[in-house]
Protein backbone atom coordinates (compact mmCIF):
# COMPACT_ATOMS: atom_id res chain seq x y z
CA UNK A 1 0.00 0.00 0.00
CA UNK A 2 1.33 3.45 -0.85
CA UNK A 3 0.35 5.21 2.37
CA UNK A 4 1.60 8.78 2.08
CA UNK A 5 1.04 9.89 5.65
CA UNK A 6 0.46 8.07 8.90
CA UNK A 7 -0.99 9.65 12.02
CA UNK A 8 -0.56 8.12 15.47
CA UNK A 9 -2.76 9.80 18.05
CA UNK A 10 -1.95 9.49 21.74
CA UNK A 11 -5.00 10.32 23.81
CA UNK A 12 -6.98 9.28 26.87
CA UNK A 13 -10.10 9.09 24.70
CA UNK A 14 -9.35 7.17 21.48
CA UNK A 15 -13.05 6.29 21.07
CA UNK A 16 -13.77 9.98 20.36
CA UNK A 17 -11.94 9.60 17.04
CA UNK A 18 -13.25 6.23 15.90
CA UNK A 19 -15.97 7.86 13.79
CA UNK A 20 -13.47 10.26 12.20
CA UNK A 21 -11.33 7.35 11.10
CA UNK A 22 -13.97 5.05 9.70
CA UNK A 23 -16.54 7.40 8.12
CA UNK A 24 -16.84 9.48 4.99
CA UNK A 25 -13.82 10.69 3.01
CA UNK A 26 -11.27 10.05 5.77
CA UNK A 27 -12.69 6.56 6.30
CA UNK A 28 -12.33 5.86 2.58
CA UNK A 29 -8.74 7.17 2.56
CA UNK A 30 -7.85 4.87 5.48
CA UNK A 31 -9.63 1.99 3.70
CA UNK A 32 -7.67 2.42 0.48
CA UNK A 33 -4.36 3.06 2.25
CA UNK A 34 -3.81 6.71 1.27
CA UNK A 35 -3.44 7.57 4.95
CA UNK A 36 -2.94 5.51 8.09
CA UNK A 37 -4.40 6.40 11.47
CA UNK A 38 -3.49 4.69 14.75
CA UNK A 39 -5.49 5.56 17.88
CA UNK A 40 -3.64 4.82 21.11
CA UNK A 41 -4.75 5.05 24.72
CA UNK A 42 -2.19 6.87 26.88
CA UNK A 43 -3.28 4.70 29.82
CA UNK A 44 -1.54 1.73 28.17
CA UNK A 45 1.80 3.38 29.07
CA UNK A 46 0.86 4.22 32.67
CA UNK A 47 2.46 2.28 35.54
CA UNK A 48 1.22 1.23 38.94
CA UNK A 49 -1.95 -0.48 40.07
CA UNK A 50 -4.05 2.58 39.29
CA UNK A 51 -2.47 3.34 35.89
CA UNK A 52 -2.31 7.01 36.78
CA UNK A 53 -1.76 9.33 33.85
CA UNK A 54 -2.18 12.62 35.71
CA UNK A 55 -1.18 14.25 38.99
CA UNK A 56 -1.54 17.54 40.87
CA UNK A 57 0.45 20.53 39.63
CA UNK A 58 3.58 21.49 41.58
CA UNK A 59 3.02 24.91 43.07
CA UNK A 60 -0.67 24.20 43.60
CA UNK A 61 -3.69 25.27 41.65
CA UNK A 62 -6.79 23.73 40.22
CA UNK A 63 -6.92 20.75 37.92
CA UNK A 64 -4.53 17.95 37.04
CA UNK A 65 -1.54 17.73 34.73
CA UNK A 66 -0.63 14.77 32.51
CA UNK A 67 2.51 13.09 33.89
CA UNK A 68 5.69 13.01 31.81
CA UNK A 69 6.56 9.27 32.08
CA UNK A 70 3.60 7.75 30.15
CA UNK A 71 3.76 10.50 27.53
CA UNK A 72 7.49 10.03 26.92
CA UNK A 73 7.09 6.25 26.72
CA UNK A 74 4.14 6.45 24.32
CA UNK A 75 5.76 9.01 22.03
CA UNK A 76 9.08 7.11 22.01
CA UNK A 77 7.27 3.94 21.03
CA UNK A 78 6.07 5.52 17.75
CA UNK A 79 8.75 8.10 16.98
CA UNK A 80 11.38 7.54 14.27
CA UNK A 81 13.69 9.92 12.34
CA UNK A 82 10.88 10.86 9.97
CA UNK A 83 8.33 11.67 12.70
CA UNK A 84 7.04 15.10 13.63
CA UNK A 85 5.49 15.19 17.09
CA UNK A 86 2.56 17.61 17.31
CA UNK A 87 0.93 18.68 20.56
CA UNK A 88 -2.62 20.04 20.27
CA UNK A 89 -2.84 23.17 22.40
CA UNK A 90 -4.54 26.56 22.37
CA UNK A 91 -0.99 28.01 22.73
CA UNK A 92 0.07 26.57 19.37
CA UNK A 93 0.32 28.06 15.88
CA UNK A 94 -3.09 28.48 14.28
CA UNK A 95 -4.27 25.76 11.96
CA UNK A 96 -4.66 27.37 8.52
CA UNK A 97 -4.80 26.06 4.96
CA UNK A 98 -1.07 26.68 4.57
CA UNK A 99 -0.19 24.80 7.78
CA UNK A 100 -2.46 21.90 6.75
CA UNK A 101 -0.78 21.79 3.35
CA UNK A 102 2.66 21.86 4.96
CA UNK A 103 1.88 19.03 7.40
CA UNK A 104 0.49 16.94 4.54
CA UNK A 105 4.08 16.75 3.18
CA UNK A 106 5.19 14.84 6.29
CA UNK A 107 5.54 11.05 6.43
CA UNK A 108 4.48 10.49 10.02
CA UNK A 109 2.75 12.68 12.59
CA UNK A 110 2.47 11.64 16.21
CA UNK A 111 -0.33 13.77 17.65
CA UNK A 112 -0.50 14.24 21.40
CA UNK A 113 -3.77 15.44 22.84
CA UNK A 114 -3.83 16.80 26.34
CA UNK A 115 -6.53 16.94 28.92
CA UNK A 116 -7.24 18.70 32.20
CA UNK A 117 -4.85 21.63 32.69
CA UNK A 118 -2.44 20.35 30.07
CA UNK A 119 0.72 18.27 30.07
CA UNK A 120 4.02 18.46 31.95
CA UNK A 121 6.15 21.21 30.39
CA UNK A 122 9.15 18.85 30.03
CA UNK A 123 7.26 16.90 27.37
CA UNK A 124 6.70 20.10 25.42
CA UNK A 125 10.32 21.21 25.84
CA UNK A 126 11.98 17.89 25.02
CA UNK A 127 9.96 15.75 22.66
CA UNK A 128 7.26 17.87 21.02
CA UNK A 129 8.29 19.41 17.66
CA UNK A 130 5.28 21.63 16.98
CA UNK A 131 2.21 22.87 18.81
CA UNK A 132 -0.99 23.46 16.87
CA UNK A 133 -4.19 25.27 17.90
CA UNK A 134 -7.49 24.94 16.07
CA UNK A 135 -8.70 28.34 17.27
CA UNK A 136 -8.81 30.83 20.11
CA UNK A 137 -11.06 28.91 22.47
CA UNK A 138 -10.42 26.12 24.95
CA UNK A 139 -11.72 22.58 24.44
CA UNK A 140 -12.17 20.17 27.34
CA UNK A 141 -9.49 18.01 25.74
CA UNK A 142 -7.34 18.06 22.64
CA UNK A 143 -8.71 14.89 21.08
CA UNK A 144 -11.39 16.64 19.04
CA UNK A 145 -8.70 19.10 17.93
CA UNK A 146 -6.58 16.12 16.80
CA UNK A 147 -9.57 14.92 14.71
CA UNK A 148 -9.85 18.35 13.09
CA UNK A 149 -6.12 18.33 12.30
CA UNK A 150 -6.29 14.83 10.76
CA UNK A 151 -9.23 15.86 8.57
CA UNK A 152 -7.78 19.19 7.43
CA UNK A 153 -4.32 17.74 6.69
CA UNK A 154 -5.56 14.57 4.97
CA UNK A 155 -7.39 16.58 2.30
CA UNK A 156 -3.98 17.66 0.99
CA UNK A 157 -2.56 14.13 0.84
CA UNK A 158 -2.51 13.02 -2.82
CA UNK A 159 -5.38 10.67 -3.68
CA UNK A 160 -7.45 11.36 -0.55
CA UNK A 161 -9.94 13.56 -2.40
CA UNK A 162 -11.55 12.14 -5.50
CA UNK A 163 -11.87 14.22 -8.67
CA UNK A 164 -15.38 15.24 -7.64
CA UNK A 165 -13.97 16.62 -4.37
CA UNK A 166 -11.21 18.71 -5.91
CA UNK A 167 -9.41 21.30 -3.80
CA UNK A 168 -9.35 23.98 -6.47
CA UNK A 169 -12.60 25.85 -5.90
CA UNK A 170 -12.64 25.26 -2.15
CA UNK A 171 -13.01 27.96 0.42
CA UNK A 172 -9.57 29.44 1.18
CA UNK A 173 -7.89 28.22 -1.97
CA UNK A 174 -6.38 31.50 -3.35
CA UNK A 175 -7.48 33.11 -0.07
CA UNK A 176 -11.07 33.26 -1.34
CA UNK A 177 -14.22 31.76 0.14
CA UNK A 178 -16.15 29.19 -1.87
CA UNK A 179 -18.81 30.03 -4.50
CA UNK A 180 -22.53 29.34 -3.98
CA UNK A 181 -23.69 25.85 -4.98
CA UNK A 182 -27.06 24.74 -6.36
CA UNK A 183 -28.56 21.41 -7.32
CA UNK A 184 -31.89 20.24 -8.70
CA UNK A 185 -34.64 21.35 -8.84
CA UNK A 186 -33.88 24.45 -10.97
CA UNK A 187 -36.75 26.22 -9.23
CA UNK A 188 -37.75 25.59 -5.61
CA UNK A 189 -40.57 27.52 -3.87
CA UNK A 190 -40.19 30.26 -6.45
CA UNK A 191 -36.41 30.55 -5.94
CA UNK A 192 -34.52 30.09 -9.19
CA UNK A 193 -31.01 28.85 -9.82
CA UNK A 194 -28.97 31.59 -11.60
CA UNK A 195 -29.42 31.22 -15.39
CA UNK A 196 -25.70 31.09 -16.09
CA UNK A 197 -25.40 27.76 -14.23
CA UNK A 198 -28.00 26.23 -16.55
CA UNK A 199 -26.39 27.69 -19.68
CA UNK A 200 -23.79 24.98 -20.26
CA UNK A 201 -21.14 27.66 -21.03
CA UNK A 202 -18.16 26.53 -19.01
CA UNK A 203 -16.25 29.77 -19.32
CA UNK A 204 -19.20 31.93 -18.24
CA UNK A 205 -19.85 29.58 -15.34
CA UNK A 206 -16.25 29.73 -14.26
CA UNK A 207 -16.19 33.57 -14.50
CA UNK A 208 -19.45 33.80 -12.55
CA UNK A 209 -18.13 31.51 -9.82
CA UNK A 210 -14.86 33.42 -9.50
CA UNK A 211 -16.75 36.72 -9.26
CA UNK A 212 -19.09 35.31 -6.57
CA UNK A 213 -16.04 34.12 -4.61
CA UNK A 214 -14.53 37.62 -4.75
CA UNK A 215 -17.81 39.36 -3.83
CA UNK A 216 -18.49 36.98 -0.97
CA UNK A 217 -14.96 37.31 0.39
CA UNK A 218 -14.92 41.12 0.27
CA UNK A 219 -18.31 41.16 1.99
CA UNK A 220 -17.73 38.51 4.69
CA UNK A 221 -13.94 38.29 5.14
CA UNK A 222 -12.30 41.40 3.63
CA UNK A 223 -9.08 40.74 5.59
CA UNK A 224 -8.42 37.65 3.45
CA UNK A 225 -8.09 39.81 0.32
CA UNK A 226 -5.33 41.94 1.80
CA UNK A 227 -3.17 38.84 2.40
CA UNK A 228 -3.43 37.84 -1.27
N1 LIG B 1 -6.88 21.76 23.35
C2 LIG B 1 -7.74 22.53 24.04
N3 LIG B 1 -8.13 23.59 23.31
C4 LIG B 1 -7.48 23.48 22.10
C5 LIG B 1 -7.46 24.26 20.92
N6 LIG B 1 -8.16 25.40 20.80
N7 LIG B 1 -6.69 23.86 19.90
C8 LIG B 1 -5.95 22.73 20.01
N9 LIG B 1 -5.94 21.95 21.10
C10 LIG B 1 -6.69 22.31 22.14
| Domain layout of the chain by residue ranges | 5-154, 171-227
Ligand 1 pocket test, candidate residues 65, 87, 90, most atoms within 8 A of CB: 90
Q: Are the C-beta atoms of 22 and 124 separated by less than 8 Å?
A: no
* Bond preceding residue 110 cis, omega within 30 of 0: no
Question: How far is CA 172 from each of CA 4, 115, 128, 216, rounded to the nearest angstrom?
Answer: 24, 31, 28, 12
Residue 228's pLDDT band (boundaries 50, 70, 90)?
very low
Q: What is the per-residue pLDDT for 163? A: 76
Provide the 10 A C-beta neighbour count for residue 7: 24
| CB-based burial label for 147 (10 Å; 0-12, 13-18, 19+) | buried
CA 149 to chain centre: 2
Residue 202 Cα to ligand 1 midpoint, Å, equals 42
pLDDT at 205 > cutoff 60: yes
Dmax (CA) for the chain in angstroms is 70
The 10s digit of each residue's pLDDT in 14-68 is 999 999 999 999 999 999 999 999 999 999 999 999 999 999 999 999 999 999 9
Q: Are the C-beta atoms of 188 and 75 separated by less than 8 Å?
A: no
Q: Which helix (H) or strand (E) holds 84?
A: strand 83-94
Q: Is 68 a catalytic residue?
A: no
Whether 90 lines ligand 1, by a CB cut-off of 6 Å, is yes
Residue 116's pLDDT band (boundaries 50, 70, 90)?
low
Q: Is 117 a catalytic residue?
A: yes
Atom of ligand 1 nearest to the CA of 134: 7
Measured between alpha carbons, how far is 203 from 183 in angstroms, rounded to an integer?
A: 19
- Candidates 14, 54, 70, 90; catalytic one: 90
- Candidates 57, 68, 69, 117; catalytic one: 117
Closest to 5 in 3D by CA, of 116, 139, 155: 155
Per-position b or e across 164-185, b if 16+ CB within 10 A of its CB: eeeeeebebeebbbebeeeeee
Residue 144 Cα to ligand 1 midpoint, Å, equals 8
| CB-based burial label for 42 (10 Å; 0-12, 13-18, 19+) | buried
Residue 140 Cα to ligand 1 midpoint, Å, equals 8
Q: Is 14 a catalytic residue?
A: no
pLDDT at 174 > cutoff 80: yes
Whether 113 lines ligand 1, by a CB cut-off of 6 Å, is no
Q: What is the CATH number of domain 171-227?
A: 1.10.1270.20
The 10s digit of each residue's pLDDT in 70-86 is 999 999 999 999 999 99
Whether 133 lines ligand 1, by a CB cut-off of 6 Å, is yes
Query: Looking at domain 5-154, which of 3.40.1280.10, 3.30.460.10, 3.40.605.10, 2.60.300.12 is its CATH number?
Result: 3.40.1280.10
Per-position b or e across 99-135, b if 16+ CB within 10 A of its CB: bbeebbebebbbbbbbbbebbbeebbeebbeebbbbe
Q: Are the C-beta atoms of 9 and 146 separated by less than 8 Å?
A: yes
Mean predicted confidence (pLDDT) in 162-185: 85
Amino acid sequence: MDTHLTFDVITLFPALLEGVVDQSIIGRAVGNGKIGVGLHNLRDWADGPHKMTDDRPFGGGAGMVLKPEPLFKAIEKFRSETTTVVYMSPDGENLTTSLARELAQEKHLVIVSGHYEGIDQRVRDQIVDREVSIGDYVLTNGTLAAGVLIDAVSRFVPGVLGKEESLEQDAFSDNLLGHPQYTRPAEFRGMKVPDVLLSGHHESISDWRQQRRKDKTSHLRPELLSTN
